[in-house]
Structure 1
Amino acid sequence: MNQAIRNTWAVVVALFLILLLAVSIIQVVAADALKNNDFNSRQLYQEFGAPRGPILVDGEPIAESVESSDDFNYQRVYHDGPLYSGLTGFYSLTFGATGLEEKMNRYLAGTSDGQFIDRVVELFSGTPMEGAQVELTIDPQMQQVAYDALPAGVQASAVITDPATGRILAMASRPSYDTNLLATHSGTRARANMEELQGLPGLSPYINRPTQTLAAPGSTFKLIDTVAMLESGEYAPDQMVPLPSRIILPNSNTPLGNFAAGLCNQHSQQTLEWIFAQSCNTPFAEAAMELGQDRIRTTAENFGFNQSLEIPLSVSASRFPEDLDDAALAQSSIGQRDVAATALQMNMVAAAIANDGTLMKPQLIDTIRGADLTTLEEPQPEVYKNSTSPEVAEQMTQMMKQVVQSGTAWQARSDQVEIAAKTGTAQLDPESGKVNSWITGFAPADDPQVAVTLVYQNTDYEDGHMMTSANMKRIVEAVVEQ
């Protein structure tokens, strides 16, 4: 072999190695980046023409891909779109993906590590790659009951969970929309539909209200105050506590008083249990200032405040602020000022109390199965935080029962099941009188099966007060009947 041949051979081998390296980089290292590149229309069209996996509730699809007669082989279709829109989100050729369609995309599109063998089979057989099935923890009957508790025209959220496991049994919100409007392959129609939806007051197709919308929690935050008080050892449920009708906040002329139409101003002192049941403001404000912001904040964080989550939907971090002076702390202790929470967060507070002080991580995914029904993932219950002791949780349960039996949630009293709960009203604008109306609790009180949270935002006080307790009762009774 002469030198020229040897040189040519070396060049050919070098080029072959370079080509092999380039292919390896493209196929392995840069595959995801190339697939997800906004300019990769080929990948986009290929995905929309593929049989994407279904999202299931109780074995039935709430989102699935069906054969299409247009330029794409498949069309994404949503069943009971308004009922589940906050959970599924949308899968749109024009606007991309949101909700579970986005968070679970690697499974639904068949690109997860666990589906590698399926992709190899697809490569050699030429058959379309089918995405995985994603089964949710949602109970369809509970989802419907929760959704029905939210009137049209109101910005509202409902969450039902199993306190012992963290499984989310229902998560609904209003206003809602038909996700099929955005799944259309026609960009013109999709853009027109999006413009119309975004014009509806309080609606954003891009968020799931129960996990992403923060709202002042009002007196439901007194659950946190009371746990901190009991944990300090300086308070007990039967302890008599001073009950001034109002206090002047430190270093200011600002008064903080009790609800004028309630029973609190009829007494100069009462037991902590009674004060909690009637949701008096001044004792909790004074106790918070006495205990200090660090203790209140630590207790709030033990229940999940100031921490974001992926369930796998994104959960915004509920907020209890830092660096509070005593006046700000007093206002924050009653769930006002800069305190803000999601509906899921206040459900987590009630669920932890129901579960002897142990907070389970909220769980929305039941099982993920491949197209051949092979189990790819099956999440197990997971302890998220040890929020408080079983002893304090039991004391809180007894006090929450009194809220329903003789306190602010008396309209939730049921002959069928005993409910433990806490109500809350957060004032938004004194001139308009608009409020956030909350209730969070669990049932049966002494053997909790469900934790239920309802919030009606930016509503009139009377309307919100009527809806919270009555709908808590309606939901719990419907669940018990199942």
Structure 2
Amino acid sequence: MNKPIRTLSVFCLVLFLALMLNATYLQYWRADSLDHDSRNKRAVDAAFSQERGAILVGRTPVAQSVPSKDRYEFQRTYSRPYLYAPLTGWFNYYNAQSGSCTSCQQMVEQTENDVLAGTDDRLFVNRLVDLLSNKQSKGGNVQLTINAAAQRAAYEGLLKVVGPTGQGSVVALQPRTGKVLAMVSLPSYDPNLLADHDLEKVNATAKKLQDDPDQPLVNRAIQTRLPPGSTFKIVTAAAAIEDGLYTKDDLVPGGATYQLPLTSGSTGLIDNEGRDCGTTRIPFAQALENSCNTTFARLGVELGADKLRQQAEKFGFNRTYFSDLLPQVESNFPKDADKAQAGQSGIGQYEVAATPLQMAMVAAGIANDGKVMKPYLVDSVQSPEFEQIESTEPELLDQAISSSTASQLTDLMVSTVDDGTANPAAIPGIPVAGKTGTAQSGIPDVPPYAWFVSFAPADDPQVAVAVMIQKAPGVERGEIAGGLLGGPIAKAVMEAVIR
């Protein structure tokens, strides 16, 4: 072979090897990233045209794919849009690509996308059978933990108080497991408008929702943290009993006013707004029944900020623990607070801030003998034929308090419903434990926030509830109170579960 032919042969061989290496690189090493690249329109078209699995509440699909007569073959629909939108989210052309937006707000349509799209490893056998039988692959189903009656009671009760443009949230948990029985956030929105095949309409709807000052796309159950006010007093009471400072039968500090340490004048003066809190020492039950600020500010000072923070963190503050919806905002208890700030923290003010989910976990932990369970929304994953593939197992998050402390707190909270400020949540014939809260916003011209936490039956807890009312346009400022506004909502949710 002469030199020119040999040179040309070697050159062709190098080109052939380079082509083989490039094909191997693209089809093996880069295949996954290219498939998930949002610029890959063929992959997006295929994903958007697929029949996704259903999102189920009980046996009822609240999100499902139905045949469509346009180019995309299937249309995603939501049967109770405003009721479940903060949980389901939406599925459209822009989020059809798994992993295309890792930093975006993600609801079940996104966090369980692999199951719903049928690409999850747990559905491999189903995909293989479909391939061998030459059938189009279907997505698996996701069953939620939601109790439909409780969800409806929470939504209707909150809507009645805040109206369609108000802001608030309700969360209900099953204390022994951590199952989310209800999770409502207002204002809500219609995800059907975001799942439309007309992309111009989708873009217009998305812009309108994003520009809305009431922020309907925010799930306030996990993404809004506000001062919990007097509902935090059950955490302060838990710390005081757990530390051995007091028992439920002891007398605690009372009084009409209390000057915080390191302060002088009105800036550090705590008062009870006319409630019956005695003069010097009063029964612990009286202090909680009347939500005495002077009592719990003193307890915060006596305990100190570190012990209060440690107790709050055992209930879930300063950490994340919920993965079925993202992102979750951490509830906050301040670090390095001085004595005055510890006193303010003891009544749920200063820099203490909580989500409704967090306060529901506090109530659920007390109801569950002091054990705080990790909350979860996805109950099980199913095949396209509705056969269960995997179910979520309850998981202990922390032993927040002893069973003895939990029992004492339960008695105090039952007394608060029977004879105190939490009476609007009372259910005839059923013992209910509860606590009210009204927290100052700290923002000029912004009304206070109303809170309510409870669980029932107190002697065999089946449900723990937290209600947060951030803005109620039709309610006068002087009428904003946790018991008055939140108590009836919590009562309706508890009745929906236990009756």
TM-score by length of 2: 0.89
Match of 1:401 among 405, 414, 437: 414
Distance apart, 1:237 and its partner CA:
1.4
Aligned to 1:176: 188
Distance apart, 1:296 and its partner CA:
0.7
**Do the aligned residues in 2 keep the contact of 1:94 with 1:190 (CA within 8 Å)?**
no
Identify which range, 117-126 or 410-419, moves more after superposition.
117-126
Is 1:139 aligned to residue 150 of structure 2? Answer: no
Aligned to 1:191: 203
CA distance in 1, matches of 2:179, 2:433: 20
In the TM superposition, 1:210-359 aligns within 5 A as 210-253=221-264, 254-264=267-277, 266-314=278-326, 315-359=328-372
Say which SS state the counterpart of residue 76 (structure 1) adopts.
strand
CA distance in 2, matches of 1:9, 1:370: 55
Is 1:32 aligned to residue 43 of structure 2? Answer: no
Aligned to 1:361: 374
Q: Are the structure 2 counterparts of residues 177 and 416 from structure 1 closer, same or farther at C-alpha, using a change threshold of 3 Å?
A: farther
Q: Percent identity?
A: 39
Distance apart, 1:435 and its partner CA:
1.1
Say which SS state the counterpart of residue 150 (structure 1) adopts.
helix
Distance apart, 1:267 and its partner CA:
3.3
CA distance in 2, matches of 1:310, 1:24: 40
Distance apart, 1:12 and its partner CA:
9.2
**Do the aligned residues in 1 keep the contact of 2:438 with 2:480 (CA within 8 Å)?**
no
**Do the aligned residues in 1 keep the contact of 2:462 with 2:497 (CA within 8 Å)?**
no
CA distance in 2, matches of 1:232, 1:313: 35
CA distance in 1, matches of 2:139, 2:5: 51
Q: Are the structure 2 counterparts of residues 16 and 106 from structure 1 closer, same or farther at C-alpha, using a change threshold of 3 Å?
A: farther
Aligned to 2:220: 209
**Do the aligned residues in 2 keep the contact of 1:437 with 1:461 (CA within 8 Å)?**
no
Match of 1:467 among 465, 469, 485: 485
Aligned to 2:179: 167
Q: Are the structure 2 counterparts of residues 117 and 418 from structure 1 closer, same or farther at C-alpha, using a change threshold of 3 Å?
A: same
CA distance in 2, matches of 1:52, 1:13: 46
Between the two proteins, the alignment pairs up a number of residues equal to 479
Distance apart, 1:374 and its partner CA:
4.3
Say which SS state the counterpart of residue 50 (structure 1) adopts.
coil
Identify which range, 227-236 or 111-120, moves more after superposition.
111-120
Letter in 1 for 2:405: V
Q: Are the structure 2 counterparts of residues 190 and 328 from structure 1 closer, same or farther at C-alpha, using a change threshold of 3 Å?
A: same
Aligned to 1:84: 84
Deviation readout 1:266-300 (Å, 9 max, x if unpaired):
43320122112211112222222222211111111
Aligned to 1:437: 450
Distance apart, 1:463 and its partner CA:
4.0
**Do the aligned residues in 2 keep the contact of 1:256 with 1:282 (CA within 8 Å)?**
no
Distance apart, 1:203 and its partner CA:
2.4
Identify which range, 421-430 or 56-65, moves more after superposition.
421-430
Say which SS state the counterpart of residue 448 (structure 2) adopts.
strand
Identify which range, 417-426 or 148-157, moves more after superposition.
148-157
**Structure 2: tracts of 5 or more residues without a match:** 97-104
Say which SS state the counterpart of residue 404 (structure 2) adopts.
helix
Aligned to 1:98: 106
Deviation readout 1:56-96 (Å, 9 max, x if unpaired):
11111111111111221111111100000000011122466
CA distance in 1, matches of 2:146, 2:14: 57
Distance apart, 1:219 and its partner CA:
0.8
Give the root-mean-square deviation of aligned CA atoms: 2.7
Distance apart, 1:128 and its partner CA:
2.4
Identify which range, 428-437 or 72-81, moves more after superposition.
428-437
CA distance in 2, matches of 1:209, 1:20: 53
CA distance in 2, matches of 1:309, 1:18: 49
Letter in 2 for 1:93: Y
Deviation readout 1:189-219 (Å, 9 max, x if unpaired):
11222233334442232x3221111111111
Q: Are the structure 2 counterparts of residues 29 and 226 from structure 1 closer, same or farther at C-alpha, using a change threshold of 3 Å?
A: farther
Say which SS state the counterpart of residue 170 (structure 1) adopts.
strand
CA distance in 2, matches of 1:125, 1:16: 37
**Do the aligned residues in 1 keep the contact of 2:322 with 2:376 (CA within 8 Å)?**
no
Say which SS state the counterpart of residue 83 (structure 1) adopts.
helix
Q: Are the structure 2 counterparts of residues 14 and 231 from structure 1 closer, same or farther at C-alpha, using a change threshold of 3 Å?
A: farther
CA distance in 2, matches of 1:397, 1:163: 13
Say which SS state the counterpart of residue 310 (structure 1) adopts.
coil
Aligned to 2:459: 446
TM-score by length of 1: 0.92
Identify which range, 316-325 or 344-353, moves more after superposition.
316-325
Distance apart, 1:443 and its partner CA:
0.2
CA distance in 2, matches of 1:28, 1:391: 59
Q: Are the structure 2 counterparts of residues 109 and 8 from structure 1 closer, same or farther at C-alpha, using a change threshold of 3 Å?
A: farther
